[in-house]
Structure 1
Amino acid sequence: MLERFKVPDKDKIFISESKIYDLTKRVLMASGVSEKGANNTASVLIGNDMRGIESHGISNGLRLYLNRYNSGENNPIPNIKIVKESPTTAKIDGDGALGTEIGPMAMDMAIEKAKKYGMGSVSVINTGHLAGCGYYPLQAVNEDMIGHCFTGSPPKQTLPTWGSEPILGTNPVAWAAPAKEMPPFLFDIATSQVAGNKIELTRRTGAKLLPSWIADENGVPIMEEIETPDRGQYHLLPFGGTRENGSHKGFGLGFVGEMMTNILSGAGPGIFNDHQGSDFFVAYSIDAFTDVGKFKADMDSLLRRIIESKPATGYERVVYAGYLENEEYDKRSKDGIPYHFEVIEWFENYCLKNKIECDLR
């Protein structure tokens, strides 16, 4: 994650993974979420925080989810059902559950199918926020598989190239694959130029938005550095920003995400339908195609070649997708997770109001 999105040193409070996990789980269960559901959501959010993906961790996610439970937008006690299944595929109705609750279950199902048949894919409908896609493919990596995830996020956020009306969501996507000794490859992106949750982080950190990250209300890319506008006064651009810089590629990939989630699930395009959202999870068994040991050794060779390549002038090193996140995970495992003091104050006030024991500091 770019430095501008990180918590300033003066505002950091370090909390251990186990301590923030325990409190997050208790806060969710106090809102009526089952122990399993609370475990899944806490694991996803804090897993993101441990890898430095704070835009999709506790800071933005938890209070959003509690508000959605309280408003009835999401269901804390869903009746999750398999509505269609074959040996290699399944479709699940989440009954309004958060994506963070059902996502780990869906990927586990895809993995079990891949163990038996070489590949497994699971579509989920009627589900809420997934907290990014990166956590879920790593479940497959832990089983020596390749993992893939798409999520169809709320529509009317991202402009098409040359458009003035936002059509798609940010429609994140992720792939992950194991290696032998090198950190796993993890490519986890929003298909917009900048993730919507990262813009929310700038409101907390005070960072500015860079040129071509967003467009004005008329769809014109803003080509200078600016303060974060008020909500509703800007639109997101597809990644690439402008047609000259490849925004048609970003919008095209975002469309693929819409196709593989909302349309393939039968929920229908998000812009035409008032529904929770859809997700898509895939696991590929490497040994259905090649020897696992050879695959991981080949991954090592290529990944090591990348990080050992000569950096361009002005840069210290070359990395690949997932490398920095792995470094951050190791660092935070030792030092704790650096949360903004405002997040810790929110926890303390919320717990005091709801009579939940809080021992973060």
Structure 2
Amino acid sequence: MLVSESALRTFTENIFLAMGCSKEHALLAADVLLLSDLRGIDSHGVARLTGYVRLWQKQRINPTPNIGIVHETPTTATIDGDAGLGLVVAPFAMQVAIKKAEQYGSGWVSIRNSNHFGIAGYHALMAVQKDMIGFAMTNASPLVAPTFSNERMLGTNPMCYAFPTGKYPPVVVDMATSAAANGKLEIAQRSGKQVPEGWIQDAEGNYTTDPHALKSGGSLLPLGSDREHGSHKGFGLSATVDILSAVLSGANYGPWVPPFVSFLEPPADPVGTGIGHFLGAMRVDGFRPVNEFKDHLDNWVSRFKSASAINPDQKVIIPGEPEYEAEIDRRKNGIPLVDAVVEDLNELAQRLNVSPLRPLKGKF
């Protein structure tokens, strides 16, 4: 089903309002989710709304948080999110990082006591709008086994780096440090499809293509899938995200991270508070004039786009380019949602007394 951006935005805002969020927070949370759907990252958009509501109903999300700085230096800060929506806590933290960068050249913020923050790209792109380089990462539900293990110890732990350009779209490297994001498994489950081999393993550590395997003790694999294909590197990247996001801030880390997924419950022996994020902003003009940097990054993009292709029909793709193209298309033509997601959302709307989603007029 195709839905217009405006209709989906209003629907999402109304769900957050029904949770008790302020108008300001509802608008912001909806904006984060909508950017994900617009950019074609369907696994982290409105498909996640049911998860936020479930955690709110379990009193694990505070709809009216008192977000604040608990430790600070001129260029760094630690923020406590007061169990608020990560969709709200992370933009607050990035604003702090940007303000510090404006004054001192760079700003770095570690966050504790937060929740799932949507796509990392949203927060990193906030810095790009100020001609800065943006960094965003978060730890997540323990679903990933480290190399040589079948025990779920880490999250998909995404990291994002975003760079401002001149004539091209921003270069945005936004990726999970696991072989695949859990949201892609959820989309496969709702679509009734298998997943590629190398994404997940069963409880015994054998490859499986069953997207439901996590519910029976299986685990996601690190980026690289196995040692021979570099999974130790994915494990190392994921560990870096976990340490910066949580060990540094006082959030839960490793297997103690409170899960977003419905089939896991929070550990009874937490080592911190909530989940953690790590955000940063760095002024380009702290290194060279902004226009010079943009000109050369444009040249970088142009040269890589013209790299000799093995297959003429498969050109080199610049990080962030597919998402930018998806955003242009979906703003114009509507956002596609799979039937199972629409059914979940409309059931949610009925429970919260919110008007249901309607298809884009004339397009079914």
Where in structure 2 are the equivalents of 1:128-277 lying within 5 Å? Answer: 128-155=115-142, 157-220=143-206, 222=207, 225-226=209-210, 228-229=212-213, 231-267=215-251, 269-272=253-256, 274=270, 275-277=273-275
Q: Give 1:87's aligned residue.
A: 74
Cα contact 2:342–2:357 (8 A) shared by 1: no
Q: 2: CA distance between counterparts of 1:269 and 1:230?
A: 20
* Aligned sequence identity (%): 37
Q: Do 2:147 and 2:232's aligned partners in 1 also have CA atoms closer than 8 Å?
A: yes
SS of aligned partner of 2:88: helix
TM-score normalised by length of structure 2: 0.90
Between the aligned partners of 2:30 and 2:127, the Cα distance in structure 1 is: 19
More displaced, 308-317 or 76-85? 308-317
> 1:259 corresponds to which letter in structure 2?
I
Match of 1:127 in 2: 114
How many Å separate the matches in 2 of 1:248 and 1:78?
Answer: 38
Match of residue 341, structure 2, among 340, 343, 349: 343
Q: Tell me how far apart the structure 2 counterparts of residues 227 and 91 of structure 1 sit (CA, whole Å).
A: 37
Deviation at 1:355, TM superposition (A): 2.8
Q: Distance in 2 between matches of 1:232 and 1:148?
A: 35
The runs of 5 or more residues in structure 1 that have no matched partner are: 1-12
Contact 2:191/2:340 (CA < 8 Å) preserved in 1? no
CA distance in 1, matches of 2:312, 2:298: 26
Letter in 2 for 1:124: I
**Aligned-pair distance for 1:314?**
7.3
Aligned AA for 1:161? T
Q: 1:75 aligns to what?
A: 62
Shift of 1:66: 0.7
Contact kept, 8 Å, 2:133 with 2:163, in 1: the verdict is: yes
Q: Hey, what's the Cα distance between the residues in 2 that align with 1:344 and 1:242?
A: 36
The letter of the residue matching 2:284 is: I
3-state secondary structure, aligned to 1:131 = coil
Mapped partners of 1:227, 1:111: distance in 2: 39
Give, in angstroms, the shift of residue 227 of structure 1: 5.8
Task: Decide whether the 8 Å contact of 2:213 with 2:219 is kept in 1.
Answer: no
Q: Larger deviation: 280-289 or 209-218?
A: 209-218
1:53 corresponds, among 24, 32, 41, to: 41
What amino acid maps onto 2:251 in structure 1? A
| 1:56 CA displacement | 0.4
For residue 24 of structure 1, what is the aligned residue in structure 2? 12
Letter in structure 2 aligned against 1:148: F
Q: 2 CA distance for matches of 1:203 and 1:102? A: 29
2-structure distance, mates of 1:80, 1:105: 8
- Find the aligned partners of 2:13 and 2:333 in 1 and give their Cα distance: 21
Q: In structure 1, what is the Cα distance between the partners aligned to 2:165 and 2:325?
A: 15
Greater than 2 Å deviation, 4+ residue runs: 224-230, 266-275, 313-316, 341-361
Contact kept, 8 Å, 2:200 with 2:209, in 1: the verdict is no
Work out the CA distance in 2 between the residues paired with 1:226 and 1:90: 42
| 1:37 maps onto 2:25 in alignment | yes
**Corresponding letter in the other structure for 1:316:** Q
SS at match of 1:154: coil
Change (3 A) 1:269 1:347: closer
SS in 2 for 1:46: helix
The AA in structure 2 aligned to 1:241 is: S
Q: Choose from 291, 303, 318 the match for 2:301.
A: 303
Count of matched residue pairs: 345
